[in-house]
Structure 1
Amino acid sequence: MRAQDVMSSPVVVLHAEQSVKEAAAVLAGHGFTSAPVVDVDGRLVGVLSEADVLRGRIPVDPRSRIWDEVTDQLPPAMLVAEVMSSPAVAVSPGTDCAQVARMMLADRLRSVPVVDGAEVVGILTRRDLLRVIARDDEEIRVAVCSRLANYGGADRWAVTVHEGVVTVLDEYDDAVDRHVAQVIAEGVPGAVRAVVTSRTREASR
């Protein structure tokens, strides 16, 4: 399963010269935790997260320091380019989702832009991956059957799915075809593992 199979596209992007206030409105309005930032040519230059926006922008309530000495504070940055995280961590459309998941967990990322060259073509979020894990078994079965039909014919395979584990029963006993069928099945979003066997092998047990 590749990033391009489950990413969200098209993408809402922010612009480096956009004001932080405008960017905050975009994040809040769409319910995003972060968004890619592009330059005037549309190239990815960074990522703006909720944390980037919040940092230094929520003033202390003056009532809590009424007797304290007032100290001068630097004004908050006004432009996205001044507060965004850069360079951005990004992946290509062909990146394995298992690699993306490991990256998210290791670096505590909630989302990762997907780029083709320097152009943002999608975004992959933790929620996108959760949707894949939660995908209905019947939807997975139908998708596996469709892909296998394109490879070896619709009547050749019997497919069942339980808790994301795909079992494929092949009419014929061919090691190469079993391997290809396993690769096809495990490439379907939501499939966690595939077991492929043949009717001949099942009958001999």
Structure 2
Amino acid sequence: MRARDIMNSPAVVTHPETLVKSAEAALVQHGFTALPVVDDDDRLAGIVTEADFVEDRFPAEPKRVANTVDDIMTRQVKSVDINTDVAQLARMMLDEHLRCVPVLDRGKLAGVVTRRDFLRVLARPDKALAQDVRMRLAAFGDPARWVVDVRDGEVTIIDRFDSDRDREVAVVLAEGVPGVIRAQCYIGELERQEEK
């Protein structure tokens, strides 16, 4: 699973010249903790967070309050490519205490990933996971060939043919479904019960 599979797109963004008050309102309206800041070419210029707004309005030392996002945004931003593996992305977010990471496609903002996006993926119902696995397997070959069972995000596939290569492909296809924890595939007779 890749960043592109779980990101929010299109991302709600702001621009360097946006008034701080307007950016604060956008953050509150959408319920986010951060907004990517992009230039006129949709290239990432920075990020502005809840903490940036609070720090600006309640500074430790007296100072002028910022007027535009450019005055308070963080310019050195951790971002990832759309093809970044989600396990790597999750580890980065946890290790660096990031709540929101911009996702780039050829240098342009494609979306954002938040911690909540990971929870959305993990919380997908087994029935939805099974349906997605079946769709992927159907694209690979005869859908009548496979029985798919999903329990707590773990996929078991029964294959009526004896092909090690096909079983390996089936596992890779199943594990590529957002929310699948792991998959295994066995040779067996198809006892078609009501699939889950």
Shared topology, TM-score over 0.5?
yes
Tell whether 2:84 aligns with 1:95.
yes
Tell whether 2:31 aligns with 1:31.
yes
Q: Structure 1 residue 188: deviation in Å?
A: 0.2
User: Partner residue of 2:115?
Assistant: 126
How do residues 182-193 of structure 1 correspond to structure 2 at under 5 angstroms? 182-193=171-182
Question: What TM-score do the two structures reach when normalised by structure 2?
Answer: 0.92
Q: Structure 1 residue 163: deviation in Å?
A: 0.4
User: Distance between the aligned counterparts of 1:139 and 1:91, measured in 2?
Assistant: 28
Tell whether 2:122 aligns with 1:162.
no
User: Partner residue of 1:6?
Assistant: 6
Task: State the Cα deviation string for residues 29-81 of structure 1 (Å, max 9, x = none).
Answer: 11110011012332101111100111041379xxxxxxxxxxx9221222211
User: Partner residue of 1:105?
Assistant: 94
User: Distance between the aligned counterparts of 2:30 and 2:5, measured in 1?
Assistant: 22
How do residues 34-53 of structure 1 correspond to structure 2 at under 5 angstroms? 34-53=34-53
Distance 1:28 1:192, change over 3 A: same
Tell whether 2:152 aligns with 1:153.
no
Contact map agreement 2:146 2:160 (CA 8 A) in 1: yes
Letter paired with 2:10: P
Residue 121 of structure 1 aligns to a residue whose secondary structure is strand
Letter paired with 2:94: L
The gaps in structure 1 that reach 5 residues or longer are 61-71, 201-205
User: Distance between the aligned counterparts of 1:56 and 1:48, measured in 2?
Assistant: 11
Letter paired with 2:4: Q
User: Distance between the aligned counterparts of 2:108 and 2:56, measured in 1?
Assistant: 31
Question: What TM-score do the two structures reach when normalised by structure 1?
Answer: 0.88
Task: State the Cα deviation string for residues 89-134 of structure 1 (Å, max 9, x = none).
Answer: 1111111111111111011111111111221111111111101100
User: Partner residue of 1:181?
Assistant: 170
Tell whether 2:136 aligns with 1:135.
no
Task: State the Cα deviation string for residues 137-173 of structure 1 (Å, max 9, x = none).
Answer: 0000010001001102110111000000000111112
The gaps in structure 2 that reach 5 residues or longer are 190-196
User: Partner residue of 2:184?
Assistant: 195
User: Partner residue of 1:65?
Assistant: none
Tell whether 2:44 aligns with 1:74.
no
How many matched pairs? 189
Identity of aligned residues (%): 48
Query: Of the two, which has the highest radius of gyration?
Result: 1
Tell whether 2:84 aligns with 1:84.
no
Residue 14 of structure 1 aligns to a residue whose secondary structure is coil
Letter paired with 1:143: D
